[in-house]
Amino acid sequence: MRNTRKFSAPEPSMRRLPAYLHVLMRLLKENCLFVSCTFIAQEMHLDPTQVRKDLALTGIVGKPRVGYSVVELIEKIKAFLGWDIQWNAFLVGVGNLGTAILGYRQFRTFGLNIVAAFDKDPRRIGKKVFGVNVFSVEKVSLFAREQKIDIGIITVGEEAAQEVADLLVEGLIKGIWNFAPKALVVPPDVIVENAQLSVSLGVLTSKMKLSEKEGNIFR
Amino acid sequence: MRNTRKFSAPEPSMRRLPAYLHVLMRLLKENCLFVSCTFIAQEMHLDPTQVRKDLALTGIVGKPRVGYSVVELIEKIKAFLGWDIQWNAFLVGVGNLGTAILGYRQFRTFGLNIVAAFDKDPRRIGKKVFGVNVFSVEKVSLFAREQKIDIGIITVGEEAAQEVADLLVEGLIKGIWNFAPKALVVPPDVIVENAQLSVSLGVLTSKMKLSEKEGNIFR
């Protein structure tokens, strides 16, 4: 929430792009080489105009009557999302969520390379979690500078989150993926993406409540 | 993405409400009883007009020159988010992420009560994970009907996700919290909230890439 810098692309569009990618990967598997905006829109239950706008962000140009090249569209979306390059990351906080993230191999497909993990608990330091070494959090700034780390993943609790963010900023990281329920204060050139599960849960439960209120009877 | 039902509240506002709640809980701890829109806006680096609009969704009315009652605002936001009632949930897929979610006690504060977990792996069935019993996924529909479960949490892989969603729908659940990278097809009265970590990662990495492109030099 602290990051109020404006980007040329609207966030709801950014949030839809990974789902487009999913549809396209499936089409590619089915040997489908061209796809229309209308088809994607139907697949995702979206408005075709919206889909056209979203895809235009990636710089792709469709061919009349042929549509988009599936391969090209996949490449353009990946490039837009920054999934065509490797991002080196450190993870701080090897609790349940941190461990789950370390174990989630699919992140590699998105270019996320978790180089090392950090914790303050001596019982965790020196161990390997899913092949990733766990170091003392005291070393995070130094190591991040040395290894030119791009992204810091914060999976510590609320109380320690700002302190960890400060250490990561000291380590010259460019982006923070924040899972702690805490609005972080960082310099304007550091990008924070808040990934608190509670936000997503709130969207679900508020929609469920609104849905009841607005007369969509369930059972 | 399959759920195109329109709600009276815009999603970006819904996504900001948990963060407001955070600021307010801190104020309450500091014995601050009234708060202005401007103060919250400053704290969250947002536009005061935006904050006023977001908070108006909850039905709260501020008092001129006094602002909002912190206690009342907390209550109204919780009620809007559906965090004032208990939601009974089943979790399907006790892998790394599923385990992390079962271990995340804070969800209780948001009214999420994970009643039971399900898996297809015989090595997991019959075990307890963070105090939650793991049953065979075959039983999920029957148990969900019997116990009037509201929410199904899907933490299985992409391949099994639709099948699990079908079982949950059969179990008459009202909402699905979907962590699998798969656009689920469900009846229109079931609400799906997609919580794929890749979406959030995509927002981070695309902003980092845009930021470089748009001339914000980092180092």
Domains A11-81 and A87-198 share a fold: no
User: In which band, very low, low, confident or very high, does the pLDDT at A215 lie, cut at 50, 70 and 90?
Assistant: low
User: In which band, very low, low, confident or very high, does the pLDDT at B129 lie, cut at 50, 70 and 90?
Assistant: very high
In DSSP terms, A132 is beta-bridged to A129
Interface A–B counts its CB contacts (< 8 A) at 229
The pTM of the full predicted model, rounded to 2 decimals, is 0.83
SS3 A162: helix
Q: How far is B113 from chain A (nearest CA, A)?
A: 12
Within 10 angstroms of residue B12's Cβ, the number of other Cβ atoms is 12
User: In which band, very low, low, confident or very high, does the pLDDT at A3 lie, cut at 50, 70 and 90?
Assistant: very low
Residue B172: pLDDT above 50? Answer: yes
The whole-number pLDDT of residue A5 equals: 60
Residue with tokens 């019993």: B133
Q: Are A113 and A88 in contact (CB under 8 A)?
A: yes
**Is B205 within 8 Å of A19 when comparing Cβ atoms?**
no
**Is A204 within 8 Å of B14 when comparing Cβ atoms?**
no
Could you please report the per-residue DSSP string of A121-135? -TTTTT-EETTEEEE
The whole-number pLDDT of residue B6 equals: 65
Q: For A59-82, how does the pLDDT look when each residue is reduced to its tens digit (9 = 90+)?
A: 998 888 889 999 999 999 999 999
Report the DSSP pairing between strands A34-35 and A68-69. Answer: antiparallel
Does A150 contact B at CB distance below 8 Å?
A: yes
- B64, exposed or middle or buried, with CB in 10 Å at 0-12, 13-18, 19+? exposed
Phi and psi at residue B4, to the nearest 5°: -105, 10
Least confident of A79-93, A106-120, B1-15, B110-124: B1-15
**CATH superfamily to which B87-199 belongs:** NAD(P)-binding Rossmann-like Domain (3.40.50.720)
Angle at B16 between CA B74 and CA B161, to 5 degrees: 110
The whole-number pLDDT of residue B61 equals: 87
User: In which band, very low, low, confident or very high, does the pLDDT at B44 lie, cut at 50, 70 and 90?
Assistant: confident
Residue B1: pLDDT above 50? Answer: no
Does B104 contact A at CB distance below 8 Å?
A: yes
Roughly what angle, to the nearest 10 degrees, separates helices A48-56 and A11-29? 100
- List strands edge to edge, sheet with B132-136: B128-129, B132-136, B112-119, B87-92, B151-154, B175-178, B191-194
Domain boundaries in chain B? 11-81, 87-199
CA distance A161 to A178: 8
The whole-number pLDDT of residue A204 equals: 94
Does A1 contact B at CB distance below 8 Å?
A: yes
User: CA nearest A109 in B: which residue?
Assistant: B198
Q: Given this structure, which CATH class describes domain A87-198? A: alpha beta
User: In which band, very low, low, confident or very high, does the pLDDT at B215 lie, cut at 50, 70 and 90?
Assistant: low
Q: For A172-194, how does the pLDDT look when each residue is reduced to its tens digit (9 = 90+)?
A: 999 999 999 888 999 999 999 99
User: DSSP assignment, residue A110?
Assistant: G
**Amino acid identity at A183:** A
**CATH for the stretch A11-81:** 1.10.10.10
User: DSSP assignment, residue B139?
Assistant: G
Nearest to B44 among A1, A46, A97 (CB): A1
Residue A39: pLDDT above 70? Answer: yes
The whole-number pLDDT of residue A196 equals: 87
